Amino acid sequence: MATIRWKSDGNYGRAGFRIHADVTDCECIGEKIINLDKYYNNAAISPSIGDYYCPGMDCQWTITAPENSILILELNGDLRGQCFSKTNGFGDSLEISDGATTYKPQCAYDHTALLPFYNKNLSINFKSSDRIVKHQDENGYFDIKASYVDLVSLKNKNTVRFFNDSTDSVFFTTSALKEEFSSVTFALSNELSSKKLQLYAISTEDSLSSIDNVLIMDGDLSNVASLTSIYDLLHNATVARPITSTSGSITVVLPDTSSIRHSAAMFLKVFDDSRDCSEANSVFSAPPCGDTFQTTYTAKSQNSNLIVCPLMIVKLPGSPGDALNLGINDIQGSDKSVKVLPGVEHNAIPFYEVSKKNLNLWDSTFLYGNIFTILLPVETTLNFTISKTQISGDQSIEYNGHKMGIFMTPNYPNGDSSKQNITWRAFKLTYGDYYKTFKAKFDVFGSLSPSSSLYVLADKKSRPECDVRDEAPVFL
């Protein structure tokens, strides 16, 4: 029973107040000992499923799963006061122990967390303090869903893909796991046994709670060296944190192939210390459309034979109009040029080269492609900005003053992978004053197919409403 007393101050012009009362069942939900098997393959536990939990609670659960399986805990919600309130929490605690390590989840990212365990039995302890919440946004609620994946049963559905060269890379989305198989193992060939395989999670427009619950293993289905989830990697995926394999293989598992969630995206590459400098922070993912990411990168190498370091920018393949907007803001530590290349080949023809002398000419450049490499001299610090944008078939750019840029088709090598037939592409260069004469210099690199042609045209009357049909070729 709750008793509410209120006394008016006699000022009846005030707005008054309203109280909303909730009744909460202060009881731990779920069996204290849960043994998952093929007949009882999932369970849910909580201090109060679907509602706020109470002060002064003490709950314990034990969860086991069959041998050679991955036990999965999906946490939804948060402890009191830790995510929405400015307070430091109420002293509530949630501890998950696998016998060797104790995990203490605090404020979950996007209020969702996924914890996988290989061949482990778990003890879960929850306690809430006696403190009473005073504001509704301080309330806490969470539930934990437990399930498991039998790795033996996955072997008949598993597909293996090999990397045969140091420059091999692949984009992978979990839509393939729903359509073809439930797991895939990426492995280095025997020729690359001295190299390392890496997986990077790529952020998409979808919220974390709406994408597939993907498990990522260092190893294959018979030998699991370590285990994590896509949720953990996506805490900060623009500055991509890789999974670097110690076993030469990485396996991606989708526990629920009937999931209606959005696909998760990944990028895999080979780390070769004879050409790569940094194992941890040299790959950056273009943020979703509408977002801009700016950072600083310093080229450092443990290999004294390397004079340049590659910085890689990846953009998830999308529609043919998707382009990367790359801005080189500052270069420190070297007077040598920084090269911007398509793809991963270090000897490719650069899109352009930037140095301190011409930095102001390349502050913003639109490039088609999904993979880009920036070669920096060792000990050079680069400040750059990346974003993703859509470019229509007729691209018009206005330049006020001296400026450099790139015009290219979406299906330039390492660009659009849809193999769509690009029938035309137009680029219009205009000056701020439409009636003022200006000069433009064009350098053509790359090659055209026999069925393609490239025209550079100038309008005859220098009027802003000129049509392509009124223009005359300057040269072919």
Count of positions (residues) in the chain: 476
CB hemisphere CA count around 352 (13 angstroms): 22
- Whose tokens are 């060296």? That residue is 225
Parts of the chain with a pLDDT under 50: 84-87, 109, 237-238, 461-476
Q: Residue 372's beta-bridge partner residues? A: 313, 342
- Is the CB of residue 162 less than 8 Å from the CB of residue 189? yes
Cα separation, 203 vs 238, whole angstroms:
7
Contacts 24+ apart (CB under 8 A), 205-208: 205/288, 205/289, 206/262, 207/110, 208/109, 208/110, 208/112, 208/234
Question: Tens of pLDDT along 351-391?
Answer: 999 999 888 888 788 888 889 999 999 999 999 999 988 77
Distance of CA 144 to the CA centre of its chain: 25
User: Residue 311 in contact with residue 383, Cβ under 8 Å?
Assistant: no
Please say whether the beta carbons of 158 and 184 come within 8 A: yes
**Burial zone of 100 (CB within 10 Å; 0-12 exposed, 13-18 middle, 19+ buried):** exposed
Residue located via tokens 């998952």: 36
Angle, CA 67 vertex, CA 201 and CA 45 arms, to 5°: 70
**Distance of alpha carbon 81 from alpha carbon 90, whole angstroms:** 6
**CA 229 – CA 227 distance, rounded (Å):** 7
Residue type, 147: S
pLDDT score for 385: 93
Secondary structure (DSSP) of 177-188: HHHT-SEEEEEE
CB atoms within 10 A of CB 139: 18
Q: Phi/psi of residue 431, each to 5°?
A: -110, 160
Nearest to 59 by CA among 126, 115, 12: 126
Q: What is the pLDDT of residues 298-335, one digit of tens each?
A: 998 878 889 999 999 998 887 767 888 999 999 999 99
Contact 53, 130 (CB under 8 A): no
> Strands 42-45 and 93-97, how do they pair?
unpaired
- Tokens 């011409």 locate to 358
Which of 175, 167, 163 lies closest to 204, judged by CA? 175
Point out which residues pair with 244 in neighbouring strands.
198
CA–CA separation, 83 vs 111, rounded Å? 9
Q: Where are the beta strands (DSSP E) in 234-276?
A: 243-244, 249-253, 265-271
| pLDDT of amino acid 177 | 83
